[in-house]
Chains A and B, each alone.
Chain A
């Protein structure tokens, strides 16, 4: 049987794929936001070498960046499954929390991974700020909070944009991995489509194209942001 794009459309897969894509983007955005918060806090700790905490941050970033993402997802998923089902059934909500639960695990896993990479980006950006700027601010008697807000943060954000772009691209691609725990995002939908129609080629090809469109669009967006920030600096 011939099975092409038209059959995919006729069988009603297009809305499902679009819904999957929007869940992929949602997981990506929420995880990225969580990752940025982790990255800024941990990056500051690493940069300022706040003693006992910086050891913890070092352990966190080298562990997460050295161990496969899939293994981290398995750890979080399997270790929490039992715990969560016990809690949920104790409150009499068995089955209700299923879908939201996979989303939460996905965000925790992907957020932790993207946080580790963001930490390195933030630390690198902080290191690139000339020391003299901070010394000058201190000499003017600015309080610590205002030095961070007025001197450190604006420069750090500008320097970090290309690195953040890289982390975002990796994050959106990593969301495909949470399909293994059953979250109905783009990859999972394609998997279901491929299995139920027995035409995997077209479904995975569509998934690849949608991911490519997402990464190309965000690349264009980041190019725009970089251009915008460049205008405001003196040559």
Chain B
């Protein structure tokens, strides 16, 4: 048993960094794309909102595995991509391709979450900002986005965990991250349950860490509301 831990833990920790890197880069790209898509979806331009709607339906309606395979194996066939050096650079490597698929996939889910948040911003507040003469971008930066992100944060935390779990699919296109190493170790050592337990603990640690980060951001954003909320919540809970 100790031997196995000595053998498996360093290997899986190596995978942990790959998983963390895949998650970080995909979330970085995906959150920005998602914000853009959410804004497109809410714009009055029919073309923009239509594109964002179809984009999110297509990416949320197909399995991530299909998207990863389509990008990794499929796109390389198209002459358009073969001849473009930059696109070929992205497609030719498993890790870069996985990041591309994960980022585009999480962008679709993020756009839905942010759209919900933006739609929950009371119209009166936006009108008040307009009446104060705020420009469109200032209004978005100071009023709409901060309120929307407070609303959307808990759901976005769940989405982050889905991205962490999604990085495991990168192992199907030759990227060795936690799941990839775990599979290899399982077939080498036959200590299937032990390897699963160690890999599972690593994933649970990442997820708990992410939840803790999201919670602390939430507490930071809501810092001025905690006391008033508690007062507002008390009578209603007493009534029920």
Contact = CB atoms under 8 A, between A and B. Distances in A.
B47 to A, nearest CB: 21
Contacts of B200: 63, 66-67, 71
A82 B190 CA distance: 10
A121 B201 CA distance: 25
Per DSSP, chain B at the interface is helix
A201 interface: yes
A212 interface: yes
B29 interface: no
Contact of B207 (A66, A169, A203): A66
Interface in B177-198: 178-179, 182-183, 186-187, 190, 192-193, 196
Contacts of A58: none
Contacts of B183: 74
Given A70-B179, A74-B183, A212 B203 contact: no
B74 A205 contact: yes
A205 to B, nearest CB: 7
Q: How large is the interface on A (under 10, 10 to 19, 20 to 34, 35 or more residues)?
A: 35 or more
A68 interface: yes
Contacts of A191: 69
Contacts of A208: 58, 62, 66-67, 70
Interface string B118-141: 000000000000000000000000
Per DSSP, chain A at the interface is helix
B62 to A, nearest CB: 5
B67 A200 contact: no
Contact of A71 (B57, B70, B166, B179): B179
Interface stretch (B32-40, B143-151, B167-175, B217-225): B167-175
A199 B107 CA distance: 28
Given A74-B196, A211-B66, A66 B186 contact: no
Interface in A127-181: 131, 169, 173-177, 179-180
Interface residues of B, number: 42
Nearest to A204: B70
Contact of A201 (B64, B70, B172): B70
Contacts of B70: 200-201, 204-205, 208
Contact of A68 (B62, B69, B73, B168): B168
B70 to A, nearest CB: 4
A203 B70 CA distance: 9
B196 A75 contact: yes
